[in-house]
Amino acid sequence: MNLHLPCAILTLSAASVAADIPTQWSFELQCRSSLDPNIPTFNLPFPSSLSSQGVAIDEDGAVAVRYVTAGIATEGVFYGRAGIGSSIFTINNPADPVFSSDLDLHLGRIALSYLTTGTGAIVINTAGTLVESFPAGGPQGVSNFGGVRLTGDGAIGFRGAFGSNQKYVFDEFIGGVRTQTLIAQSGTGQYAFLFTSSINDSRQLAAKVFDASSNSLVYRFEPDGSRTLIADARTSGPYNSILNGVALGSSGDVSCFVRTRAANEWRLIRSDGIETVTIARPGDLGIVSTDFGNFGPDINASGWVAFRARTTTGHAVFVGDGQSLVRIAGDGDLLATDLGDLVMGFDFGPPTGRQALSSRVAINDAGQIAFAAFMQNGTIGIFVATPDIACRADLSGSSDPNDPSYGVPDGSLDAADFFYFLDQFTAGNLAIADLSGSSDPNDPNYGVPDGSLDAADFFYFLDIFLAGCP
């Protein structure tokens, strides 16, 4: 159930001649839900629904998503990779939904937040076994955890309720003792409201906030609570509106949707607090302003920003880096499934109309993008799009970090590629150097990033370097 498709690309600047984002992508179905007794599910129990469920993707390309079902359970979690997977966790509560539709998957752990007022979150592993429970309370006295995200060292970060106010908190157990670190809070005169946050493994946190005068701002907070202004919608700022849904990459880059004050134009931007670049705007590749920014973006370590948008031909998934913008898949495209090739998109009739995407999209540091698509038969499929890279060992045109061609593939393999890889491997750059979970070509994890750097990555690079470019 793999399909290789060429994708539309828009060049945004002359510098994008050497853009890193490929235009050829492979698509693989991970699971598919169905409520129709005449249409079987794929890797999910029947009946099941994936409608409006946020999909998460790990560094090795595995995905997790909550699903709704009926019978001995009312909801569950699917986990799978490379088209193989199943339900790993279920719960039965006919009265009300138990968990939020917005889960997280990071380095083999899955975070789920409860929906019931006054509750917290749990963390399970990929077998569905409880790893840690984070009930409401703790030293910061928070509840109603929202936007729960995992760090690589075992903590969770989230926005929690504290009475009528909110707190950004990192929560963990150190030596068996629950420890919570407060990053920011409303109700003290500095912030009027805190929106859902995004975190990374460095324990940076990015979010939209209302200041004391209810102006919209986006900050990136450091672990000590210090902050960097990313986007400013005060009357003196360059924007007159900032949408909810902020993404933070492992490099510290932040992405969000803003509307410029000068042109009153919506844009998707990426910023590190010093330099801001436009990823996309209405008009690019047929994108229209309707629904632009209704779902927040996602960003990886390379600065690739994945998002969904409506176009003149329907909804589609895009990825951009400020130099190029690529349409990945969308309404009317043919995708391979367990039932054969199916057209993406389903017409629900008025007032909903035709829909092609069910929820937000997600991207990992390997550039793989996960999305939930409505299919022509009314079912919903979770797909992973993987960039087709012609020569994975072609990494750089120079070994000199001061050379403009450093880190820019040049179509040939030489010492520059080898030394560039060593630089990134030594620096711990997962986006570049995390290539394989095994050094054995017969191992299923060979050539599959696993979220860590070790000898397997080095020897895999040597293998592909010696194999040469096609």
DSSP string covering 347-358: E--TTT-EE-B-
Amino acid 7: pLDDT:
63
Strands, sheet with 130-134, edge to edge from the N-terminal-most edge strand: 104-106, 109-113, 121-125, 130-134
With beta carbons less than 8 A apart as the criterion, state whether 387 and 431 touch.
Answer: no
Strands, sheet with 24-33, edge to edge from the N-terminal-most edge strand: 2-6, 24-33, 380-387, 369-374, 362-363
Q: pTM higher than 0.75 for the full model? A: yes
CATH number of 2-14+21-387: 2.130.10.150
- Asked if residue 47 has a cis previous peptide bond (ω within 30° of 0), the answer is yes
Tell me: the pLDDT tens digits for 385-426?
Answer: 999 877 889 889 899 999 878 887 877 899 999 999 999 999
Task: Check pLDDT > 70 for residue 8.
Answer: no
**What is the 8-class DSSP label of residue 53?**
P
Mean pLDDT in the chain?
A: 93
With beta carbons less than 8 A apart as the criterion, state whether 297 and 245 touch.
Answer: yes
Domain-wise residue ranges, the chain: 2-14+21-387, 392-470
With beta carbons less than 8 A apart as the criterion, state whether 136 and 118 touch.
Answer: yes
C-alpha distances out from residue 45 to 1, 76, 341, Å: 19, 10, 22
Those residues whose C-beta lies under 8 Å from the C-beta of residue 462, and which sit 6 or more positions away, are none
Task: Check pLDDT > 90 for residue 101.
Answer: yes
Dihedral angle at the C-alpha atoms of 22, 310, 64, 454, nearest 10 degrees? 20
Tell me: the pLDDT tens digits for 418-450?
Answer: 999 999 999 988 878 989 989 999 887 888 888
Tell me: the pLDDT tens digits for 201-244?
Answer: 999 999 999 999 999 999 999 999 999 999 999 999 999 999 99
With beta carbons less than 8 A apart as the criterion, state whether 400 and 423 touch.
Answer: no
Task: Check pLDDT > 70 for residue 3.
Answer: no
448's enclosing H/E stretch is: none
With beta carbons less than 8 A apart as the criterion, state whether 164 and 138 touch.
Answer: no
Amino acid 15: pLDDT:
32
If DSSP codes are grouped into helix, strand and coil, which group holds residue 396?
A: coil
Looking at the chain, the number of H-run helices and the number of E-run strands are: 3, 36
With beta carbons less than 8 A apart as the criterion, state whether 61 and 364 touch.
Answer: yes
